[in-house]
Amino acid sequence: MMKHFYEKIIPGLCVIVGINLTAKAQTKTENYILTSELLEATTDTTKSNLSAKNRIDKITYFDGLGREKMSIVSPVSTSTRGQTQTLATTVTYDGFGRVDREYLPGVVPNLNFTTAIDYTDYPETSNAYSQKKYEDSPLNRVLKQGAPGAAWEVNTNRAIGFDYQTNQGDHVLMFGINQNLTNSGNNIALTVTGTYQNGTLYKTTTTDENGQPIIEFKDKQGRVILKRIRANGKEFNTYYVYDIYGNLACVLPPKLMQLANNTTTNAVYTPLLKELAYQYRYDDKNRLIEKKLPGKGWEYMLYDKQDRLVAVQDENMRNENYWIFTKYDKFGRVAMTGKIWADKPKSGLQNDLDSYLGDNNVSRDATGYMQDNITIYYNQAGFGYNNHVLTVNYYDDYPTAQQGVSLTGNVLGQTIATGDRLKGLPTLTVTRSLGTWENNQWNFEHNYTLYDNKYLRAVKNHKINYLKGSTIVESELDFRGKATKVVTTHKRLENNFPVKTTEIFSYDKFERLLRHTHQINTGKVEVLTQNSYNNIGQLTSKKVGNTTTSPYQTVDYQYNIRGWLTQINDITNLGTDLFAFKINYNTKDQTKASNATQELFNGNIAQTLWTSQENPYIRSYDYNYDGLSRLTNAGYSNLSKDFAGTYDEQLSYDHNGNILTLKRYGQTEQATPRLIDNLTYNYENAEKSNRLLKVTDSSNTLGFNDGNKTGNDYAYDKNGNLKIDLNKGITDSITYNHLNLPTLVKKGAQTIEYAYSATGVKLRKIVKAQQGVNAGLTTTTTEYLDGFQYKDGVLQFFPTTEGYVNAITAGSVAYNYVYNLTDHLGNVRVSYAWDDVNSKLKTVNEDHYYPFGLQHKGYNKPPADITIRDTERIEIGIGIGSNSGSANYKYKYNGQELQDELRLGWYSFKYRNYDPEISRFFNVDPLAEGYHWQSVFAFGSNQPVHAKELEGLESADDKSLFNRVGNFLADTQVGTVMGAVNTVKGVVDAGLADNAKIGATMGALANGDVGGAIGITAERGVNFVQGAVQSLLDIPANYIKGTGDVLNGNTAVGASKITQSNISVATIIATEGALKGVAPKATPKSTSTVKMGSQGGPTAGKRFTPSQKAEAISSNKTKNGGITVCEDCGVKTTPAVKRAEGVKVDKKETQVDHIYPKSKGGNTTPENRQILCQGCNNKKSNQLPEDYYKK
C-alpha cells in the first residue's frame, strides 16, 4: 500500500483531474495520494491543524496496478441543505488495462461515496463520459474516440474515427531539393522524382464528428509528407518537402498543388513557388538563415557565435539598406534592439559575426553614453552600431537616472525589493515612439517594474509616456499572488490632474473571481461584476453594474454536455434583459433557412439566434460550411416577421481559402431580400497568387463600393502590405514602418497619420479630413495612452472589464459607466448605461453583424445625438453630444476599433488591418507558418462564426475562448498570461510557470517591457521586427486596467480587463482552431489535449534512436530560428554532454522526451517526441500527458 501526504505552497492554482461514476469513501485500505494546497501562509505543516477553508484537498486513488481510478476534490460547495459537496471523477479500464471510460466531473453530497455521483449540473446525464475503442492488436491503437453526450457516444457515427494503413495507389508525389542549385535570394530548386511506391508511407485517416476524413502521410522517419482532404468533389493537398539534412525546406499549399495538377514535371512548379510556396534555407549549422512566405519577399537572419539571432532584414528593409539588430547581455537577455544601416551584403555581415573575437555581449555601464537624446547605461560592445535605438532593457537594478520614479518604500503595504533582491529581474524598458516626430526629444517611453521584497512578484508598474505623462498601476497581492486591490493613476501630461481608479477583487475558495468593484477618484463604488458558478466550475450567472443588491443586468449562461456555450440569457423570455443570444450546434430551431441547415457535431455552429429590448424580434442565422469548415452560406431569418434572406451572405473559395465570389443582401429589412453586393475576386499573376488584384461588383454601391471601374484595384509592397486601394480612393502609396504597420494613408489632400511604439503599440492617430466639398481640412488627433483614449487632448473614455467609462466634459468632467453585452466572440452587440436625467437604464448603442463583420443596416440602434439642456445637464449614460466620449467609442466587431475616417471601413487589429466589406486582411499573417494550408490574407480561417481573430495573428475557437472562463480551475493563473505571450509567438501553449521570476518576466512583458522577456522570446527566435513581445499592449480599450493584474499572473482579473468582451479571456488564449484546411483541431492545453503523444505500436516502450533524437532536435530548431527551445517553459536549451558519474546536470540541457511515457507504452513516433530542458524533464518524470499538461 502507498500513502502520501504533502503540501504545496505556490501562487498557482491546484489542478483538479476530474471525477468518477463509482465512488468510495476515503479509506486507509486503498492506495491514494492526498495533496493539500494551502491558500494562506502558515508555518504549521500539520494537516490536522489547517482549516479546511484554508486549503484545497485532492485525493487520487489507485488500483492494485498503480492506475488512477478516482480523483476527488473536497469540498467544492455547500448545498442548500448544508451538505458538503465534493467533486469527483473516475477512470475505468478494459480487460487489457487500457483506458476505457473517463467520466466528467460530478458532485458527491456530504462526502457520501456510497451514493451515485450527481451529474445534474449537465444538461444530460446518460453518457457523461468519453470512451475509446481500440483495434484488436498488440498495437493498442485507438479506432474510435467518443465524447460525453449521447450524440457523441463511441458506438455512433459521431465519434472521431481513426484508420491506419500504408499508401496504396494514393499518388503521393516524391519531392526533393537540389542543394547545388539553391542560391540565396532565389527560389529553392524543387525537384519531383515521381511518386512514392506502395507500402512506403504510413497513412493515417482521421474522420471528424461530421464524417469528414483528413488523411496524413508520413515517411519512415516519421516526417509528415502530405496532408490531404477530399471534400466537395475536390482534393486539397499540402506537401512538406525536406532537404538532405531533414530540415523543412518547402511547403506546397493546396492552391499551388491544384494549379500544378499534381504533375511530376519540375518546370511546372518553378513559376508557382514565388507567390504560393513557403521556402526555407539553412546554414551549415542548420540555423534558419532565409525564409520566404507566399506573397512576401525573402527575409534574412544573422547569428552570432553563440547561435543567437542578432539581426533580421525583410525585403522592405533591404530596399532601404538597414537591419533590425538585437544585443544581448552575458546571460542571453535582450539588452537592446535598433536599426543598423549597412552597405555590406548578408554574407559579409555574417562573416563579420563569425570572425568577431569577443563574446558579442554588452555589459552595464554606470556612466553610459548618449544616443538619440537618451542615456544608455550599457557599453558599446558587440554587433550593432546603435545608429537608431528602438528599445533598451535593464535588469538586476535600476539605472542612475530615475525620472522622479520612487523605487523604494512600499506599495499598498508591500515592501519594495531593492539591491541584490532584484538580481535576474527586468526593471526598466525604454521604448522609442515611431511616427512623424521620430527625432523629437520626447519620443521615448520609460516603463519601470517594481517587485515586492518577499516573493519578488511585480506589484507596481510606472510608465512615463512619450508626452511625459504617466500611468502607474499598483497591485495588492494575496498569498497566492491574486490581486485583491489594484490602484491605477493616470495623467496625460506631467502637470495634469490625475484620474485615479481603485478596483477591489474577491474570490471563492477555488480562486474564481466572485466580485469586482470599481471606483473613480472618490466617486461612487460601482460593482462591475458578481459571478456565480455551478459545481463543476462553469460561469452560470453574472450580475453587472450598479450595486450588489440592485445590478443593472444579470447575464445568464448555459452550456451543453461538451461544455460549449449554448445560451446567453433566454431569447424566448427576455424579461428585463437587454440582449439574448442562442447557439445551436447539433440541434436546430425551425427558421426560414433551417431546411438547408445540417446539425453539426464537430464544434461548428449550425445556428445563432438573438433578440434585444430595442429590437424585440427574434432573428437568426443558419450556417453552411464546406468540408474544410469554411463558411459558404449564412441564411438570415426574422422569426417574428417571417422574413428570410434579408441579410444573407454567400461565399466561394479557391483551394487556399481566397474568396472567389461573395453575395450579400441587406440595407433594409424587408420581405423581399435586396442584393447589395455581387462580388467577383481576381488575384495577381493570373490567379496564381494570394494577393487580391481586383474586386468587381455587379450589383450597386451599397455594401462594398466598387469605386474603380477600370483596371486593377490593389497594389502591394514587397512585404505583401496593401499600398493602393482605388476603390477607397487611396491613390498614393500607403506608408508602413518596419513593423509592417501603416504610418500614413493619403486620400488626395486628406490624410491619416499613425504613430506607434517600437514594439507595435498604437500611440496616436492624426486625421486631416474635409467636412464638405469646398471646406478646408480639419485636423483631429486621437491619442492612445495605456487604454485612456483622448481626442484633441480631451479624455474620451477608458476601459473596464465590462465596457468602458465614458468621460463627459461640460466645464468639469463627469464619468459614467457604459456596459457592453457581447456574443460568444466578443462582438459588441448592445451597450447600455444609466440615464441620470430620466433615472432609468438605456441602450446607448446596438450593432449586429454579418458573419464576416460588416454591420447590419436598417434596424440597428445608432448612437443618439444628445444635446446639453438649458440646465447644462447632460443625459449622462446616453450622452453622445460633442462633449461626450461615447461618440468616439468604436470598438465593435471582435472587440476591435473601427477605422471609419476617410471612409476606410477597416478594423484595426494589432498586427493587421481587416476590411469587412471584402472579408479579408490586407497584410500577410505574421503567423502564417502555422497555417500552411490557407491564404496568408484569410480572416479567421474563413470560420468567422466560431473562430475569433486574435489581434490579426490567428483564429481561436469560440469554445476554447468562452469555456475557459467557466472551467473549474482553468484560466485564473499564470497559464493565461503564458497563453497571451504564446499567441504572439504562435505557440499553442498555456502552461504554468512555477518560477516567480518567470512570472515577473511575463508581468513586465504585459506592461510593455520588452526586457520582460528575459531573453525568452529572443531565444525562441521571435522576430522583434514584428513587435511580437508586445502581445498585451495594443487596442487602447484593452490594456491598462488589466496591467496590474496580468503582470502578476492574476489573470482571473487581468485577462478579463485586457479584453473588451465579457468573455474574460477571449482575446488571450491561443489555439490552432478547428479543422483549418487540412489539420484536425487542436485543444488548448488547459483542457488537457494539446500534447497527448502516442502509444502502442512496434516501438512502444522503446528508447529513441540517435537519428530520431537528431530529427526531433532539428525540427525544434526549425521552429525556433536555429536554436533549441524547451517546449514547456520556453528556455533556450544547451546541447547535452556526457558527464562523469555524480556530476550535476545542467537544468537547461536538451532532452528528447517521450510525451506519452516510455514506461507506460509510449512509442518513438514523431507525435510522441518533444524537446524539454532537463529541469522540465525531471518535473514531468513519467506522468501521463493528460495529467502533466493540466498543471
Q: Three-state SS for 670?
A: coil
Contacts of 105 (CB under 8 A, 6+ apart): 16, 18, 19, 87, 88, 89, 536, 537, 968
Residue 636: exposure state from Cβ atoms within 10 A (0-12, 13-18, ≥19): buried
Are 62 and 177 found together in one domain? no
Tens-digit pLDDT profile for residues 110-126: 666 656 788 989 998 88
Are 178 and 284 found together in one domain? yes
Tell whether the torsion through CA atoms of 986, 990, 994 and 998 is positive or negative: positive
Is 801 part of a structural domain of the chain? no
Looking at residue 578, its amino acid is L
Are 181 and 124 found together in one domain? no
Give ∠ CA 145-147-152 in degrees, rounded to 5: 95
Residue 771 CB coordination number (10 Å): 8
Q: Three-state SS for 1020?
A: coil
Tens-digit pLDDT profile for residues 510-566: 899 999 999 999 999 999 999 999 999 999 999 999 999 999 999 999 999 999 999
Q: Give residue 629's pLDDT.
A: 96
Tens-digit pLDDT profile for residues 908-930: 998 899 999 999 999 999 999 99
Q: Three-state SS for 341?
A: strand
Are 104 and 172 found together in one domain? no
Q: Taking Cα atoms as reference points, which of 1032, 1060, 1049 lies closest to residue 993?
A: 1049
Contact assessment for residue 1148 and residue 1173, using Cβ atoms and an 8 Å cutoff: yes
Question: What is the Cα–Cα distance from 2 to 63, expressed in whole angstroms?
Answer: 11
What average pLDDT does range 830-854 have in this prediction?
93
Tens-digit pLDDT profile for residues 771-820: 877 778 999 999 999 999 999 999 999 999 999 999 988 778 889 999 99
Residue 1013: how many CA atoms within 13 Å on its side-chain side?
A: 35
Give ∠ CA 638-642-644 in degrees, rounded to 5: 60
Question: What is the Cα–Cα distance from 1008 to 429, expressed in whole angstroms?
Answer: 8
Place of cell 511546372: 268
Average pLDDT of the chain, as a whole number: 81
Domain boundary among 272, 292, 312: 292
- Least reliable range by pLDDT among 172-181, 1088-1097, 1145-1154: 1088-1097
Contact assessment for residue 75 and residue 48, using Cβ atoms and an 8 Å cutoff: no
Contact assessment for residue 1134 and residue 1094, using Cβ atoms and an 8 Å cutoff: no
Q: What percent of the chain has a predicted confidence (pLDDT) above 70?
A: 78
Is 233 part of a structural domain of the chain? yes
**Residues forming beta bridges with residue 475, ordered by sequence position:** 486
- Residue 2 pLDDT greater than 90, yes or no: no
**Residue 872, phi then psi, degrees to nearest 5:** 60, 25
Are 168 and 248 found together in one domain? yes
The total number of residues written for the chain in this structure: 1191
Looking at residue 697, its amino acid is D
| CA-atom Rg of the chain in angstroms | 29
Domain boundary among 260, 292, 324: 292
Q: Taking Cα atoms as reference points, which of 159, 21, 160 lies closest to residue 101?
A: 21
Are 113 and 24 found together in one domain? yes
DSSP element (H, E) containing 966: helix 958-966
The residue range of the domain holding 276 is 162-292
Q: 996-1006 and 974-985 are packed helices; what angle lies between their axes, rounded to 10 degrees?
A: 60
Are 100 and 182 found together in one domain? no
Q: Taking Cα atoms as reference points, which of 1061, 1073, 1091 lies closest to residue 1155?
A: 1091
Looking at residue 163, its amino acid is D
Cell of 1188: 502533466
Tell whether the torsion through CA atoms of 508, 510, 514 and 517 is positive or negative: positive
Question: What is the Cα–Cα distance from 294 to 572, expressed in whole angstroms?
Answer: 48
Q: Give residue 1043's pLDDT.
A: 34
Are 122 and 191 found together in one domain? no
Are 125 and 176 found together in one domain? no
Q: Taking Cα atoms as reference points, which of 598, 702, 761, 721 lies closest to residue 212?
A: 598
Place of cell 510522441: 1168
Largest pairwise CA distance in the chain: 91
Is 210 part of a structural domain of the chain? yes
Question: What is the Cα–Cα distance from 335 to 911, expressed in whole angstroms?
Answer: 24
Place of cell 497566492: 480
What average pLDDT does range 833-856 have in this prediction?
92
Give ∠ CA 1155-1160-1161 in degrees, rounded to 5: 80
Helix residue spans in 416-499 (DSSP H): none
Q: Give residue 1101's pLDDT.
A: 73
Question: What is the Cα–Cα distance from 1030 to 1025, expressed in whole angstroms?
Answer: 11
Question: What is the Cα–Cα distance from 823 to 826, expressed in whole angstroms?
Answer: 5
Which residue did the predictor score with more confidence, 625 or 732?
A: 625
**Residues forming beta bridges with residue 658, ordered by sequence position:** none
Question: What is the Cα–Cα distance from 21 to 103, expressed in whole angstroms?
Answer: 7
**Residues forming beta bridges with residue 828, ordered by sequence position:** 822
Helix, strand, coil share of the chain (percent; to 5): 15, 40, 50
Cell of 1112: 526531433
Q: Give residue 104's pLDDT.
A: 95
Contact assessment for residue 144 and residue 152, using Cβ atoms and an 8 Å cutoff: no
pLDDT classification of 79: cutoffs 50, 70, 90: low
Contacts of 545 (CB under 8 A, 6+ apart): 526, 527, 528, 551, 552, 553, 802, 817, 819, 834
CATH of the domain at 1124: 1.10.30
- Least reliable range by pLDDT among 108-117, 165-174, 383-392, 682-691: 108-117
Are 121 and 198 found together in one domain? no
Question: What is the Cα–Cα distance from 558 to 591, expressed in whole angstroms?
Answer: 22
**Residues forming beta bridges with residue 755, ordered by sequence position:** 764
Cell of 699: 450589383
- Residue 1055 pLDDT greater than 50, yes or no: no
Is 174 part of a structural domain of the chain? yes
Q: Give residue 386's pLDDT.
A: 67
Question: What is the Cα–Cα distance from 1139 to 557, expressed in whole angstroms?
Answer: 57
Is 51 part of a structural domain of the chain? yes
865 CA to centre of own chain? 37
Contact assessment for residue 831 and residue 552, using Cβ atoms and an 8 Å cutoff: no
Q: 974-985 and 1051-1058 are packed helices; what angle lies between their axes, rounded to 10 degrees?
A: 40
Question: What is the Cα–Cα distance from 839 to 941, expressed in whole angstroms?
Answer: 45
Give ∠ CA 508-509-510 in degrees, rounded to 5: 90
Q: Three-state SS for 136?
A: coil
Are 190 and 103 found together in one domain? no
Sheet of strand 897-899: strand arrangement: 897-899, 906-908, 913-915, 920-921
Contacts of 46 (CB under 8 A, 6+ apart): none
Is 119 part of a structural domain of the chain? yes
Are 126 and 178 found together in one domain? no
Residue 341 CB coordination number (10 Å): 12
- Residue 1105 pLDDT greater than 80, yes or no: no
Which residue did the predictor score with more confidence, 1174 or 1121?
A: 1174
Question: What is the Cα–Cα distance from 325 to 388, expressed in whole angstroms?
Answer: 10
Place of cell 516526417: 223
Q: How many domains does the chain have?
A: 3
Residue 81: exposure state from Cβ atoms within 10 A (0-12, 13-18, ≥19): exposed
Contact assessment for residue 20 and residue 49, using Cβ atoms and an 8 Å cutoff: no
Q: Give residue 1089's pLDDT.
A: 32
Contact assessment for residue 1040 and residue 471, using Cβ atoms and an 8 Å cutoff: yes
Which residue did the predictor score with more confidence, 646 or 1065?
A: 646
Domain boundary among 227, 259, 292: 292
Question: What is the Cα–Cα distance from 1077 to 934, expressed in whole angstroms?
Answer: 7
Tens-digit pLDDT profile for residues 996-1012: 223 333 333 333 332 33
Cell of 683: 488575384
Is 1074 part of a structural domain of the chain? no
Helix residue spans in 217-287 (DSSP H): 254-260, 266-276
What average pLDDT does range 27-47 have in this prediction?
82
Residue 546 CB coordination number (10 Å): 18
- Residue 285 pLDDT greater than 90, yes or no: yes
Is 243 part of a structural domain of the chain? yes
Residue 63: exposure state from Cβ atoms within 10 A (0-12, 13-18, ≥19): middle
What is the rounded end-to-end Cα distance, in angstroms, of the chain?
26
What average pLDDT does range 844-855 have in this prediction?
95
Cis peptide before 75 (omega within 30 of 0): yes
- With b for 16 or more beta-carbon neighbours within 10 A and e for fewer, the 441-478 pattern comes to eebbbbbbbbbbeebbbbbbbbbbbbbebbbbbbbbbb
